[in-house]
Structure 1
Amino acid sequence: MCESPRINCVLLVDDNPSTNFLNKKTITATGLVKTINVATNGVEALDYIHKRGKFKDKNCPKSNIIFLDINMPKMGGFEFLEHYEKLDEELKADIVIVFLTTSNWEKDKLKAYGNGFINDYIEKPLLEEKFIEIYNSYIENKVTT
């Protein structure tokens, strides 16, 4: 555990409240993150990025890491990526996107890694060690706060 948070914000995009609760607990235990926010589907995640809808006028710092589920109502992970691709470069800059999913289908992994915005693909549950590994791989040498 570190002395002060080094990651400004993590956005969890998952429709399962229990999963979000456990992921928040896991991430908080690392001591690396200042703010953790939740969107329950891809539409809400886009609203978060644009600071609109239920996120308008709320504390919505730019996410350094987005953990994205594949299967969600309204808009799943792959559909979110189609919309994300069209965003202004400024909105996408310096964001690490990780699929965090129960899917171990090879076709999903290949599709994910074929997308230029996916940095990693991990199967649930999110473990502290895996979060720290993602931090070390993608965030550690960047200024994030």
Structure 2
Amino acid sequence: MKKIDCILLVDDSPSTNFYNKKIIEKANIKADIFEAFNGLEALDFLKKQNKFKGQDIVKPNIIFLDINMPKMDGFEFLEEYSKLPKENRCDVIVVFLTTSTWTKDKIKAIENDLIYGFIEKPLTNKELEKIIVHYNQLEN
């Protein structure tokens, strides 16, 4: 079983991030959990820039990404994320975790090769388990 070292929660709602963190902790996943409140902060995290500069952080293995956020939404984040060097992206699962029920958002997400899944909030233990199983099936 592959070790999950880091999970990045990208959502503009502190209460949603808090809830998701508790679900992950209750699942006994011993990973560092970081928060970004929009796509720009998530990119800063991955590039270790701005408020994340100089911090001892590892590349996330799983990114839970909201769609509707200020400054840079989930789809805009994915567009910029896809431009990052491959070493910043490989072995990372990106999962949309959103309240969006728009069919066009689901279709757009499914068509994007960078997205593993599209989950409607809130995160559940069952959905988290599926993601962990999928992560463990990825090739090194």
Q: TM-score, normalised by structure 1?
A: 0.91
2:130 is paired with a residue whose SS is helix
Shift of 1:143: 8.1
Which residue in the other structure is 2:136 paired with?
140
Which residue in the other structure is 1:27 paired with?
24
Cα distance in 1 between the residues matched to 2:83 and 2:129: 30
Q: 2:87 aligns with which of 87, 90, 104?
A: 90
Tell whether 2:85 aligns with 1:124.
no
Q: 1:101 aligns with which of 77, 98, 102?
A: 98
Cα distance in 2 between the residues matched to 1:134 and 1:115: 17
Q: Over aligned residue pairs, what C-alpha RMSD do you find? A: 1.6
Equivalent residues of 1:10, 1:33 under 8 A apart: no
Alignment of 1:28-43 (within 5 A): 28-43=25-40
- Superposed CA deviations along residues 31-67 of structure 1, whole A, max 9, x for unmatched, are 1232100000000000000001111111321100000
Moved over 6 A (4+): none
Which residue in the other structure is 1:17 paired with?
14
CA 1:143/1:55 → structure 2, altered by over 3 Å: closer, same or farther? farther
Which residue in the other structure is 1:50 paired with?
47
Cα distance in 1 between the residues matched to 2:139 and 2:79: 28
* Percent pairwise identity: 52
Cα distance in 2 between the residues matched to 1:94 and 1:140: 10
Amino acid at match of 1:112: A
- Count of matched residue positions in the alignment of Structure 1 and Structure 2: 139
Cα distance in 1 between the residues matched to 2:106 and 2:138: 27
Cα distance in 2 between the residues matched to 1:113 and 1:17: 27
CA 1:6/1:90 → structure 2, altered by over 3 Å: closer, same or farther? closer
Shift of 1:87: 0.8
Give the gaps of 5 or more residues in structure 1.
Answer: none
